[in-house]
Chains A and B, each alone.
Chain A
Amino acid sequence: MAEEPVDVETAGQNVAGEVPATEPDAVTDDTTVHDDDVELERTIGLVGGLAIGIGTMIGAGIFVFPGLAATNAGLAATISFAIGGLIALLVALPTSELATAMPRSGGGYYFISRGMGTAYGAIVGLGLWLGLMFASAFYLVGLGHYASAVFGALGVGLPFSPVVGIGLLFGAALTALSIGGTENTAKLQNAVVGILLVVLTAFLSYGVLDAVGAFGGRSVPEQFFSRGYFPVLTTAALVFTSYLGFAQVATVAGEIKQPSRNLPLAMVGSVLVVTVFYVVTIFVATSAFGADRLGQFGETAMVEVAREFLGVPGAVAILVGGLLATFSSANASILSASRAVYALSRDALLPRKASEVNLRYGTPHVALLAAGGPILALVATGQVELLAEVASFLHLVMYGLLCIALLVLRRRNPEWYEPSYRVPGYPVLPASGALTSFGLIVFMQPASIAIGIVVMLLSYLWYRYYAGDVTLKGDI
């Protein structure tokens, strides 16, 4: 990819008189260029991108949901996860095209604001920021369950449930670490994801062999659709939180090397990898115990599955894995949320102050606090399913709009829109992506839908009040 000109003009100002920061002059494989001689280096490679995607996703689908999903849908929960994976893929492909055309920080928010205008952009951008908070809170509550299970395994009886307390503790610690820590957390994240994949592969291979009767053990015969067909869809809506991570790759699109190659590979690749892992995990877990008993174990059901197969060492491995996975998911989401705040503040949809960088640590302390603070309040509710669904709702709205943005851009075909990756099966594939994304929302609990709609409404009102004059839409 040679230098690619970027030709989107922004205009207007917000209530505080701030204008959107100027768009870059050009995008290359290694940099984003402003004013000819100022460059923003791209430093995340394909492995880093995959680690962000997989690391964000794998915590939820494998370590938190199996028990809950099995209760709701029985063995057919396998299909729920497959449906989620399919929708994620239908969205990841169009997102890849948009990302190669506009490899800028802010991801989905950026693509929609440039393709469909400021109002949609504001709803999605603020929704993404809040959605990531709900997701982080969900991961932290999951982490709390795993940490409590450690106490349980050690035989420490506590007079109260430590789940929420531990979640709060880790949430506060993560926020503080992100503000004050300058260690190389990306390398750590890559290593954690690598270890998780190895442990899970070993564990699941054993589980699959066992499930198909290779070890001559008992298998729990069970009817596939033991709860009927409808719960398969509601469960798909619930567990969709396990597929939010690929969009987080797009939030750091401005930092990915060779974006035209690495962005599509990282997004689509991470969706495919986690889908396979999820489906196999649910299959193994439900085969081991049957859906009913699995459901009784709740959020940490996988620990019991591992104990069943491999005894105490297996349980310990999965316990540690669950802690690492939920921790890395929460961490990645907080960082993405802070990137979303930056993108909004760059475009004058939030005060410029919000993306201020701390002079001592060089970190965006305001944005990180703006993510970390509300997360604690959400963790305090302790509502795993509600948090997960609201996070999914807000992401699904963005996903649907992403697909529509692609349809709009392809149709108008403005001069500046030159993606180096083009989605196959246009217009059917992006249209199905939009329909399935919006369609899945219908199957959520009424409470989740209500909260999601309120968040969107507030986002829109904020835009009208604060930045009604700001134009971000590209010339189409």
Chain B
Amino acid sequence: MADRQPILVPLRVLEGESVPEGVPGLLANAHVVLLGYHVIPEQTAPGQARLQFEERARARLDEHEAIFETAGATVERRLVFTHDGQKTIDRTIHEHDCMAVLVPNAIGAVDDVLVAVRGTVGVDRLTRVVASVFAALDTSITLYHVAEASETDEDIETLLGGMRDRLERLGVDGSRIETRTERQRAPLDAIVDAAKTFDAVVMGETDPSLATFVFGLPADQVADRFLGPVLVVQREREADE
């Protein structure tokens, strides 16, 4: 049985964002870091917003915490008043060593999940998250890889086969794992297309680059175009970052 992995669930708790249906079930075997945050304009001091909104925000978070705990997750929670939501999310990921972040979109039952495998980098964390979340669920898991021209079939077999073996060792039933490869496509579009027939997506975060600066992180783009929940596995942070 895989260890529970810490997974961040950020919610704009006072703007009516709540835990969508199906999500607590999906994270039943995770350690949920529940982050309720409220973004305020610069004119307002964060402490000022706290004076007025803490009680309401706490009540909402209590409800969400109870929902996750009922589903079986362990929960740790934070309530943050901030001028910069992204900074708060990044900091919480770092401080709580979150393996992945959930972009909470609604789902029904999770019957199948698409796991986008980018390459050998980060595959370890990806494997641990998938095993932790899905080992005890009855979900079929598709390992999906968009190959580059230079990759041979053998390379791909090593990558996906290796991941399948590790998942089995971590307690995932091998008969539930499938693999799928595609070639000659832009990875992002391919993932979005493939995801259409799945209930949830697990993918890695990519390193920030100029392209991500202009177009946004690929994971965010997928989350915007795919309507179900996306688990974004975080890259390993440097200790001093």
Contacts and interface: CB of A to CB of B under 8 A. Distances in A.
B81 interface: yes
The A interface is mostly helix, strand or loop, or mixed, namely mixed
Nearest to B92: A39
A40 B43 contact: no
Interface stretch (B49-57, B193-201, B213-221): B49-57
B60 to A, nearest CB: 13
A254 B47 contact: yes
A37 interface: yes
Interface string A147-186: 0000000000000000000000000000000110110111
B51 A352 contact: yes
A1 to B, nearest CB: 14
B51 A39 contact: no
A362 B41 contact: yes
B78 interface: yes
A460 interface: no
Interface residues of A, number: 36
Contacts of A352: 51
A432 interface: no
Nearest to A352: B51
**Which of B43, B46, B84 has most chain A Cβ within 10 Å?**
B43
B41 A21 contact: no
Contact of B52 (A182, A335, A357): A357
Contact of B47 (A182, A342, A363): A342
Interface in A343-357: 346, 352, 355-357
A30 B50 contact: no
Contacts of A184: 42
Contacts of A475: none
A129 to B, nearest CB: 14
B48 A342 contact: yes
A230 interface: no
B40 A362 contact: yes
A364 B43 contact: yes
B127 interface: no
Nearest to A44: B83
Nearest to B40: A362
Nearest to B81: A40
A39 B79 contact: yes
A25 to B, nearest CB: 13
Interface in B78-133: 78-84, 87-88, 91
A41 B83 contact: yes
B45 interface: yes
Given A37-B79, A41-B80, A356 B52 contact: yes
Contacts of B45: 105, 252, 254-255, 339, 342, 364
Contacts of A363: 41, 43-44
Nearest to A252: B45
Contacts of B82: 40-41, 43
A363 B45 CA distance: 9
B77 interface: yes
Contacts of A254: 45-47
A38 B43 contact: no
A241 interface: no
A229 interface: no
Contacts of B84: 41, 43
Nearest to B77: A37
Contacts of B43: 178-179, 181, 335, 338, 363-364, 368
21 contacts: A21-B47, A30-B91, A37-B78, A38-B78, A39-B81, A40-B46, A40-B50, A40-B82, A41-B46, A41-B91, A179-B43, A186-B42, A252-B45, A254-B45, A342-B45, A342-B47, A346-B47, A346-B48, A352-B51, A357-B49, A364-B45
Given A186-B42, A361-B41, 7 more contacts: A21-B51, A38-B80, A38-B81, A40-B81, A41-B81, A41-B83, A43-B87
Interface of A: 21, 30-32, 34, 37-41, 43, 105, 178-179, 181-182, 184-186, 252, 254-255, 335, 338-339, 342, 346, 352, 355-357, 361-364, 368
Chain A to chain B: the 9 pairs with minimum beta-carbon distance, closest first? A41-B82, A40-B46, A43-B83, A43-B84, A363-B43, A39-B80, A182-B41, A38-B79, A342-B48
Interface of B: 40-54, 58, 77-84, 87-88, 91
